[in-house]
Amino acid sequence: MKNLVSIDTGKKGAAVLWRGNDPLDVYLFEEWEDGIDSNAFDRQLSTWRQHWGSLDFAIERVPTLPNQSVKTTAKQFTAVGQTYAICMIHTIDPIIDFYPMTWVSFAKKLSDEKFRKLPAKKMTQPLAKKMFPEICKKHTKRVKCHDGVVDALMIGVYAKRDHFCLEITD
């Protein structure tokens, strides 16, 4: 069985390993000067492959933002580039990527009515806690679950949307 790794790219991102439709493990990116600790991420993917077999990847494709500084854009794309390169080492299949607006729109459809008008970061928090309480509890400081974990979970839900749509309509 192929496993999915859903990834919120960026220096404060995270990766979630899925077996079937269940998240099994979480890796929080370790931040370095201009990117992520690529050696630590590579070791984590190697460990997952050893224990769980082949991996597929669903990654957040980060768009450039208007009026974003060149320095911020460069740092962001360095981390994204590191992530893509490491994932390419661990799979022969194409890497699936999604723009944030794609998976956020899907998450809105799954969230409770009262949360749909909130900004994405605030809207996905209660949804992730409702769908994956154990993982969110493990990665919560004070009240809020780690943003990278929430985003990686929602990217995984979007990548597995056929299953989660059936679950919602049943």
* CATH assignment of the domain containing 35: 3.30.420.140
> Do 5 and 154 contact (CB within 8 A), yes or no?
no
* Rg of the chain (C-alpha set): 15
- In angstroms, the CA 45 to CA 40 distance is 9
pLDDT per residue as tens digits for the range 29-85: 987 777 788 899 999 999 999 999 999 999 998 887 788 888 888 888 888 888 999
User: What pLDDT is stored for residue 12 in this prediction?
Assistant: 85
130: left (phi over 0), alpha (psi -120 to 50) or beta: alpha
Q: Check whether 145 has a pLDDT greater than 90.
A: yes
User: What pLDDT is stored for residue 168 in this prediction?
Assistant: 52
Range of the domain at 73: 3-169
Q: Check whether 1 has a pLDDT greater than 70.
A: no
- Name residue 56's beta-bridge partners: 4
Residue spans of alpha helices (H) in the chain: 38-52, 70-89, 100-110, 120-131, 133-138, 147-159, 161-169
Report the domain count for the chain: 1
- In angstroms, the CA 125 to CA 70 distance is 30
